[in-house]
Amino acid sequence: MRPALLWLAAALTATSAWAGDARAAGDDDDKAAADKPAEESAIFELVAKDAEPVGDVGTLLGALTDRCPDEKRALDRARCQATLAYLRRTLPERTFSFVARDPGAIAVSAYDRTFKGYRITLDACIACTSPIRVGRSPDPVFLTLKKPAEPKPGGKSTASTAGAESLAATVEIASLPLGFPSADEAQHWLAEVRPHLRAEMVFKAPAVDWRFRGDRGYALTLVGGRIVDACTGAVVLSSPPSTGLAARSAADSEDCMSGARVAAKAEAATPGAPAAPDDDEDNEVDHPLPTELSRTVIAQSMGRIRGQVFACFERLHVPGAAPLTYEIAGNGSVQSVKLAGALAGTPTGDCIVEAARGARFPRFDGPVQTFTYPFFLRR
């Protein structure tokens, strides 16, 4: 029998024992969480709280798809069948987390002059670009967290659908526009931040097979996904919403520090540039976070998306007031945007809300802040 399956079964058994003790010790907490309204518990941190990290999804899925015909000895066949039966009984009850390395998981559009930025898209890709082996199967397959659907003719184009329709484009989780004050700042983000973005996925093991344009694959069950900046922990895009910073690994810190040192040395080598700090010198200064976003900070953030909002008016030519009500988490991420007034629910209003989701805010020391900011669309 394959060591991978034995290891997986042993790991899940050990985790079950630990989880059982934890549940017994924290029944009151579990009951309190269960009593929360669904909308309060629908945040990324909660759906990912008990997820078990997995590095090899192919082996995990193989436990649900493999058979035991190659075992020659009856004892080995019986052991293999018992292990697979155990895994197929327990895997669907569990939640797993995975860092998606597939290039199709994060798509960034070309620079869009209408809102001075890019559209960033999170796609439910585990293996959308190249197929991988699943269990004992000799034929590699594609893996997603949503079943792909054939794109509709004339359908809306997103960052991931630019150019030819791809597998990744049919399993989109969420997208939003990222606007910047200037083209230079947008280019800096693309060069310095984009390489450090990572896609974090939370899923369950039940899987269905699919075929897409001649390709074969499996779709596991999506629970949640987000795009984070591995260097800062900032959440760029999250479904369901995130309320805090993402955890940073030692490898992330080392990689980001190396990149910062290279950039600092390159800048220092430029004539007229300030000297780069010494590698061993700690130049970070701890500043206490404000308890909430100030009016000035809010106005600055709204000013950065003004061009995108007014692009909706220029495209659709419908004037009117557009009061936007924001809910901002303490990590600066936009939790929700609602539009009130006559434009709500109209094509112009939908355009405004989509543009408004691209606003970015600094961190503050609080859970959530709500405010309303009005735009007035007129010539």
Q: Helices in the chain by DSSP H: which ranges? A: 3-25, 27-34, 38-41, 44-47, 57-65, 74-90, 183-192, 250-268, 295-316, 347-356
Tally of CB atoms within 10 A around 296? 8
DSSP output for 251-291: HHHHHHHHHHHHHHHHHHTSTTPPPPPPTT-------PPPS
Q: Map out the domains of the chain as residue ranges.
A: 99-245, 249-276, 295-377
Residues 288 and 275: beta-carbon distance below 8 Å: no
Residues 175 and 226: beta-carbon distance below 8 Å: no
Q: Determine the pLDDT at residue 22.
A: 39
Burial 150-166 (b: 16+ CB within 10 A, else e): eeeeeeeebbbbbeeeb
Q: Strand 235-239 to strand 197-212: parallel, antiparallel, or no bridges (unpaired)?
A: unpaired
SS3 64: helix
Alpha carbon distance 168, 105 (integer Å): 7
Task: For residue 4, give the DSSP letter.
Answer: H
CA dihedral 24, 25, 29, 30 (to 10 degrees): -20
The half-sphere exposure of 137 on its side-chain side, counting CA atoms within 13 A, is: 21
Q: Strand 52-53 to strand 95-100: parallel, antiparallel, or no bridges (unpaired)?
A: parallel
Rounded CA Rg of the chain: 24
203 DSSP β-pair partners? 96, 222
Q: What's the first-to-final CA gap in the chain, in angstroms? A: 73
Q: Tokens 């220029």 correspond to what residue?
A: 314
Alpha carbon distance 260, 130 (integer Å): 31
SS3 334: strand
Query: Distances in Å between the alpha carbon of 364 and those of 20, 93, 245, 280?
Result: 37, 37, 12, 29
Query: Distances in Å between the alpha carbon of 26 and those of 30, 40, 108, 255, 340?
Result: 6, 20, 42, 37, 42
SS3 365: coil
144 DSSP β-pair partners? 125, 219
Q: What percentage of the chain's residues is helix, strand, coil (to nearest 5)?
A: 35, 25, 35
What's the burial of 202, exposed, middle or buried (CB within 10 Å: 0-12/13-18/19+)? buried
Is the domain covering 295-377 a CATH 1.10.287 domain?
Answer: no
Q: Determine the pLDDT at residue 152.
A: 57
Query: Distances in Å between the alpha carbon of 81 and those of 42, 67, 84?
Result: 37, 8, 5
> The tokens of 177 are what?
């526009």
Alpha carbon distance 332, 158 (integer Å): 25
Q: What is the pLDDT along the chain (379 residues), one digit of tens a residue?
A: 444 444 444 444 444 444 444 344 444 444 444 344 334 457 898 999 889 898 888 877 776 666 666 656 676 667 766 766 666 666 777 888 999 989 999 999 999 888 888 999 999 999 998 888 887 777 888 999 999 976 555 544 444 333 346 899 899 999 988 888 888 888 888 888 899 899 999 999 878 889 988 888 999 999 999 999 888 888 889 999 888 788 876 666 666 765 544 444 444 444 443 343 343 334 434 568 889 998 888 888 888 888 788 888 878 888 888 999 999 988 888 889 999 989 999 989 998 998 888 888 898 988 889 999 988 887 6
Q: Strand 106-108 to strand 117-123: parallel, antiparallel, or no bridges (unpaired)?
A: antiparallel
| Closest alpha carbon to 237 in 248, 246, 227 | 227
